[in-house]
Amino acid sequence: MTQNELHVIFGTGPLGKWTARELLKQGKQVRLINRSGKTDNLPADAEIAAGDAYDTARNKELTRGATAVYQCAQPAYNEWTEKFPRFQAAILEAAAANEAKFIVADNLYMYGDTQGQPIREDMPYQPHTKKGRVRADMAEAVMEAHRSGKVRATIGRASNFFGPDDHIVTDLAIRPAVLNKTINLLGKMDQPHSFSYAPDFGKLLATLGTRDEALGQVWFTPSPAAVTQAEFVSMLESELGHKVKYLAAGANMMRFLGMFNPMMRETVEMMYEWTQPFVIDTRKAEQAFGWSGTPLKQAIRETVAWVREDLVRAQ
């Protein structure tokens, strides 16, 4: 592969940015796409362009000449059923038209409730939630497109992730602690849970886009060993040097809050992830690519530092 090849990333959230940073380290040309054509904290030397991901013709223009196209964007959480399949299909069509590899950032919803058993890439899809069925159908469409020869594709997955540039888990579970406020958690505090780190997820996606042997497969992001949420809070307290107050909301609380907030309403069906062990086995990628996930204490330390810098930028 040449060093100046073009890699196009749809989405400028944490995954898009961290995928871009990894590709730039390799000397690749990187173009990020979002609706506005603007974003904060744009990785140095990356290009950004405006595009509506539902517009296949525009997607083809933006990805012309690309070696790889990365799908790191998504509609609003409460609009997945209506919009997400069409959204991803329009990007896939562009990648196929331009003969680019297609790398999809995905989650674990399609595996359903494994009753606490560790999740592996080769487990069957058994979705029992609305969003799990959406994710399963979308993943099957990607792999079928690969099998049929329409596009060369691969899928990278992670558990709940946090880290610099993230404004979802990080803003709920870390940012308030930095401000000495109560953090917001879900479910039970004593069940082991795998957390992935956004920079590691980006590194995996960049790896999948530059290693042809990864095509046609599903890969889990190398991640640190699972911990309970109580242990996560303890690590956070050690980093901050003070006690951290927390609120762990159960399903009933989320149903109540969902009466007023559609995003929270969508969380209710996913509560099984937080009430029993939710652990992923990431040995496949670790052994194939020769690297492990960032240690959790280090990930928390780097995220706290980013939150502090972000608070200063916001002043």
- Dump pLDDT digits (tens) for 83-122: 999 999 999 999 999 999 999 999 999 999 999 999 999 9
Biggest alpha carbon distance in the chain?
56
Beta bridge partners of 105: 156
Would you say 127 and 178 are in contact if contact means Cβ atoms under 8 Å apart? no
Check residue 3 and give its pLDDT: 55
Q: What is the pLDDT of residues 133-192, one digit of tens each?
A: 999 999 999 999 999 999 999 999 999 999 999 999 999 999 999 999 999 999 999 999
- CATH code given to domain 169-191+226-278+304-314: 3.90.25
In sign, the C-alpha dihedral spanning 203, 208, 214, 217 is positive
pLDDT tier for residue 219 given thresholds of 50, 70 and 90? very high
Residue percentage of the chain with pLDDT more than 90: 92
Beta bridge partners of 119: 280
Check residue 1 and give its pLDDT: 40
pLDDT tier for residue 207 given thresholds of 50, 70 and 90? very high
- CATH code given to domain 6-161+195-223+281-293: 3.40.50.720
Asked if residue 258 has pLDDT above 80, the reply is: no
Would you say 73 and 79 are in contact if contact means Cβ atoms under 8 Å apart? no
Beta pairing, strands 47-50 & 161-162: unpaired
Check residue 260 and give its pLDDT: 78
Would you say 54 and 75 are in contact if contact means Cβ atoms under 8 Å apart? no
Helices (H) and strands (E) in the chain, counts: 12, 11
Check residue 120 and give its pLDDT: 98
Check residue 248 and give its pLDDT: 92
Beta pairing, strands 6-10 & 29-34: parallel
pLDDT tier for residue 263 given thresholds of 50, 70 and 90? confident
Would you say 228 and 26 are in contact if contact means Cβ atoms under 8 Å apart? no
- The DSSP code for 193 is B
Domain boundaries, the chain: 6-161+195-223+281-293, 169-191+226-278+304-314
Q: Give the residue from 189, 195, 101, 201 showing the smallest Cα distance to 145.
A: 101
Would you say 19 and 202 are in contact if contact means Cβ atoms under 8 Å apart? yes
Cα gap 69→270, rounded to integer Å: 29
Asked if residue 27 has pLDDT above 70, the reply is: yes
pLDDT tier for residue 262 given thresholds of 50, 70 and 90? confident
DSSP 216-262: TSEEEPP-PPPB-HHHHHHHHHHHHTS---EEEE-HHHHHHHHTT-H
The pTM score is: 0.96
Q: What is the pLDDT of residues 193-202, one digit of tens each?
A: 999 999 999 9
